Structure 1
Amino acid sequence: MGRSLICYGIAMLLLFAAAAHAEDVTLPGPEGITIKAKLFRPDVATAAPALVLLHGCGGPFPSRDAQWTELLTKAGHIVLLPDSFGSRSLGSQCTTPVRQRPVTATGLRRLDALTAARWLAAQPGTPAGGVVLVGWSDGGATILAAGGERPDTQRGLIRGLVGFYPGCTSEAQTAGWRPVAPLLVLVGEADDWTPAAPCQALARSLGPAMTLVTYPGAYHDFDAPSAAVRTRSSSRGQVHVGTDPAARADALQRVPAFIASLPSVN
């Protein structure tokens, strides 16, 4: 067994230990796909909004998933983590050019996110008032795609949007693009994978509808627990990834506070 597989297994055990009420669930997805997901419930039911957490281009990130799931379930949230890639027998898509990927943020992943939000909203015990979408990198791009105003937008479904280093180019270049709910974006100023500049342009155009937080010196994956900064291959070439302790600490406080501030949409 390889070292990476052993580390993955340990991280998954920690994820399950962090939230005792974990369930493996399946959702009917687009194009007849069955979406595999993990559902976590807090020890005590609360009125806190339910959350859908969307992975990045590498698929589930066990240590980061464990960190955020533990934090958010302790705050009283029901948390659903759908796996868009594993459900389709796909591995990491990070080095594949975006337009060549079989599953993209603006295509099937958008549909997956909305499917997951509808499914979660309909589950017994899910608080009324809308679901919050939270995404990292490609998952962040997905929450922007799923959370943009469209003629077919389902009112009352999405309560808020949180995107970590999403890459905001498409939305910044689309005249009139607006989110259906309050939007928080967090990105490192040194991010050379999904640079901050497009998100800064989008924030200027949206005004109070979007809260943008940028972190000086922080790279992609700044909120990962204990990940040394390194270079890796991506569809954009060699890029930097790794933890920024100050940015991570701020995000771990800022995101729950933002979610707690969101008004009900029902």
Structure 2
Amino acid sequence: MRLRLTALFLMLLMPAARAAPAPRQVDIPLSAGVLHAQLYKPEGEGPFPTVIALHGCGGLGGHSDPVLPRYRDWALQLLKAGNAVLLPDSYGSRELGPQCRVKELHVKARRERVADVAAARGWLMKQAWVARNRVSLIGWANGASTLLWAVRPQNAARDAVPDFRAAIAFYPDCRISAGLGWSTRVPTLVLIGANDDVSSPPACRQMVEGAQGRSALARIVVYPDAYHDFDRANTPLHAAAGSTDAATPERGHLGTDTQARADSQKQVAEWLAR
């Protein structure tokens, strides 16, 4: 009994575990409507390096959570490293649900979502706490495909403020970009699993290799044995076709690869610190 009471007393003396910081919603004007975004910001006045994080086809949040765990985990990791993180909600802002299995997309990566990136960047450039020369991009799947369009030289902003510092694309669909002779004006890192049968590792390799010599730095890391969503925590490998979840692709396989996940975290930190 005395041991039990002593243990209880020690627990009461210990500081309570700090809850994960909650994001703050910000509203960003668009040419038509408003782009809702979730912001994680370090304490203090800054200026802080800032990352615009682009969700995949499943959307940014769920029914009761403005940011799904897979994006929240990354946001908190980036926040811990001293970055502010802005997550635009391209689908929720337009009152749309997941778009993974929608045949006729009304919000396209190369059009509406690129416009969202430009609006998010424009909003950040007006914030005193932002290190304007250290704003970067990161995206997953459809968000990564958006990123590939956003960093093309043709989509450079016409203002005089600094361009994006860096860009990181997790398993984008590179097939269209590879066929168009993609290049980037921003140092861009592509991370993809060798077994990704949702996106196309060969197309991504072709895209990056084809940009050499006529582009800003572009690099690709292909993880052996890894599949789509390899960086998503606690996701057993499974076939998407057997799922009724509208927030997953119609085909291919999804699942965590612990080694690729750990290395990708290291790669992201190093690429952003360039």
CA contact 1:35–1:87 (8 Å) conserved in 2: yes
Residue of structure 2 in register with 1:165 after alignment:
171
* TM-score, scaled to structure 1: 0.84
Residues in 2 aligned to 1:230 and 1:151: alpha-carbon distance in whole angstroms: 37
Taking only aligned residues, the RMSD between alpha carbons, in angstroms, comes to 2.1
Residues in 1 aligned to 2:45 and 2:24: alpha-carbon distance in whole angstroms: 16
Residues in 2 aligned to 1:151 and 1:54: alpha-carbon distance in whole angstroms: 17
Letter in 2 for 1:252: Q
Match of 2:117 among 97, 107, 113: 113
Residues in 2 aligned to 1:81 and 1:163: alpha-carbon distance in whole angstroms: 15
Matches within 5 A, 1:170-181: 170-175=176-181, 177-181=182-186
Letter in 2 for 1:167: D
Q: Classify 1:152/1:67 alpha carbon distance in 2 versus 1 (closer, same or farther; 3 Å).
A: closer
How many Å apart are 1:17 and its aligned residue? Answer: 3.9
How many Å apart are 1:238 and its aligned residue? Answer: 2.3
- 1:197-237 deviations in whole A, cap 9, x for unaligned? 11100121123721101111111111001111111148974
CA contact 1:223–1:247 (8 Å) conserved in 2: yes
- 1:1-48 deviations in whole A, cap 9, x for unaligned? xxxxxxxxxxxxxxx94335x311100124x12111111112355555
Residue of structure 2 in register with 1:75 after alignment:
81
1:219 match: secondary structure = coil
Residue of structure 1 in register with 2:226 after alignment:
218
Matched, 1:55 2:59: no
Q: Classify 1:151/1:82 alpha carbon distance in 2 versus 1 (closer, same or farther; 3 Å).
A: closer
Residue of structure 1 in register with 2:4 after alignment:
none
Matched, 1:128 2:132: yes
| Fraction of identical pairs, as percent | 35
Mark the runs of 5 or more structure 2 residues left unpaired by the alignment. Answer: 1-17, 62-67
Letter in 2 for 1:94: C
Count residues with an aligned counterpart: 241
CA contact 1:44–1:76 (8 Å) conserved in 2: no
Residue of structure 2 in register with 1:228 after alignment:
236
How many Å apart are 1:63 and its aligned residue? Answer: 1.3
* TM-score, scaled to structure 2: 0.82
Residues in 2 aligned to 1:225 and 1:152: alpha-carbon distance in whole angstroms: 34
1:112 match: secondary structure = helix
Match of 2:194 among 189, 194, 214: 189
Residue of structure 1 in register with 2:157 after alignment:
153
Q: Classify 1:215/1:33 alpha carbon distance in 2 versus 1 (closer, same or farther; 3 Å).
A: same
Residue of structure 1 in register with 2:207 after alignment:
202
- 1:36-80 deviations in whole A, cap 9, x for unaligned? 111111235555521100000000161111211111011111110
Residues in 2 aligned to 1:68 and 1:209: alpha-carbon distance in whole angstroms: 24
CA contact 1:38–1:82 (8 Å) conserved in 2: yes
Residues in 2 aligned to 1:86 and 1:173: alpha-carbon distance in whole angstroms: 31
Q: Classify 1:152/1:68 alpha carbon distance in 2 versus 1 (closer, same or farther; 3 Å).
A: closer
Q: Which runs of 4+ in 1 moved over 4 A?
A: 44-48, 234-237
CA contact 2:48–2:130 (8 Å) conserved in 1: no
